[in-house]
Structure 1
């Protein structure tokens, strides 16, 4: 049988496929944007600032499966409780991961709270005002039995605070074009309070006081604000 001579169209398609594969390989991130990072949450976050002082927490029992996920995704996790002179108690959690790739993205509270048995009552985007600008944040209300816990949090991908998975993916692409893998951070504050409006106001004041108490370079790492 006579051999079929490849048409010009087939050859061009083959060349394009090879070029696309080569471009995808060339654009694959190969180095972490954070580099040899010396950022340490334990020393970067003060134990006392403004009218807030750390209150030692009782030892919490964590689901082993949840702990395994935390250990895999994050290289540093800080969990503290703070109390002010008025007796307001705020729980602060900051989780940092040096590798914010597709399979190692920060786990958002909308996922973590229900995974631990809590009911997610509401979710709303809200810009958190500070003297340096606004932080795109998210506010949740959660319920675990009689425990009503409003939550304020934001996510950092590289040097920017982002809302939602689409913004996170775009931030990853921005670094990917430079051959870099961004780091990621989740900053979360919560209180046990049946009054959502009061709780969110107290959390905003706490986070504003925290950002005011740290050096500019730490504030930028935590919030993206100059």
Structure 2
């Protein structure tokens, strides 16, 4: 048999194997359809611990995409400003998407803030200690003119919290080989302060009190510490 013929057979076989593998790991079932629906406004209390919603403030989700695009990516979004007894404020933004295929994946804060003209610092890894366990998070700081905003965020893909886009992709692949399309929840807390470390400490206190107030099922979902 000629070498060119052998090469053609090998190439053909490789293409068929690649096509088979693609079909084999193409997810077909949405994980969100196998469990109770998420309703953010009902799941997240307006008052908990030392915090309550500040009705005078609006915490708009910083995102350069249009409303139509947001509606395509996310099933629900929630944006609130909370204030404590000392007058300190925390902005909470949550975005929930039921379909985490590549064209519908969550948008990370670095890109969203950058798209609004903010200068965004390098992202660093961290952990939040809560009653649900330690949540792996990412932290950064966004600056626009005199506005300085420390940010803490994490993404819950299916049942697990992950702090980076690379780990989101790994979780999505792990679900895909099981034939599942995972849902995802982007959790973001921030406040306006020039004292970055104090801002992060306040955010950790806020998240800890929020997790304390949630019932077990909601706590597991939003912390990403479920099974």
Say yes or no: TM over 0.5: yes
Q: Which runs of 5+ in 1 are unaligned?
A: none
CA drift of 1:81 comes to 0.8
Greater CA drift, 142-151 or 122-131: 122-131
CA drift of 1:121 comes to 2.9
CA drift of 1:22 comes to 2.3
- Quote the residue 1:180 is aligned against: 180
CA offsets, 1:142-196, max 9 Å, x none? 1111111111111111111112222111101110011111111110111111111
- Quote the residue 1:88 is aligned against: 88
CA drift of 1:12 comes to 5.3
- Quote the residue 1:34 is aligned against: 32
State whether residues 172 and 182 of structure 2, in contact with CA within 8 Å, keep that contact through their aligned partners in structure 1: yes
CA drift of 1:19 comes to 3.5
CA 1:141–1:12: 2 relative to 1, 3 Å: closer
CA drift of 1:108 comes to 0.7
CA 1:17–1:63: 2 relative to 1, 3 Å: closer
**3-state DSSP class of the match of 1:34?**
helix
CA drift of 1:125 comes to 0.9
State whether residues 122 and 142 of structure 1, in contact with CA within 8 Å, keep that contact through their aligned partners in structure 2: no
CA drift of 1:112 comes to 0.4
- Quote the residue 1:25 is aligned against: 23
Q: Distance in 1 between matches of 2:38 and 2:117?
A: 33
Answering whether residue 216 of structure 2 is matched by residue 213 of structure 1, we say: no
- Number of aligned residue pairs: 223
Answering whether residue 44 of structure 2 is matched by residue 45 of structure 1, we say: yes
TM-score of the pair, normalised by structure 1:
0.90
Q: Name the larger-Rg structure.
A: 1
TM-score of the pair, normalised by structure 2:
0.89
For the aligned residue pairs, the C-alpha RMSD in angstroms reads: 2.3
Show the 5 A alignment for 1:1-226.
7=5, 10-11=8-9, 13-35=11-33, 37-56=36-55, 57-58=57-58, 65-226=65-226
Q: Distance in 1 between matches of 2:65 and 2:131?
A: 40
Q: Which runs of 5+ in 2 are unaligned?
A: none
CA 1:174–1:61: 2 relative to 1, 3 Å: closer
CA drift of 1:74 comes to 0.7
Q: Distance in 1 between matches of 2:76 and 2:140?
A: 24
CA offsets, 1:6-50, max 9 Å, x none? 956644553443243123213211111111642100100001001
Q: Distance in 1 between matches of 2:213 and 2:61?
A: 31
Q: Distance in 2 between matches of 1:120 and 1:59?
A: 19
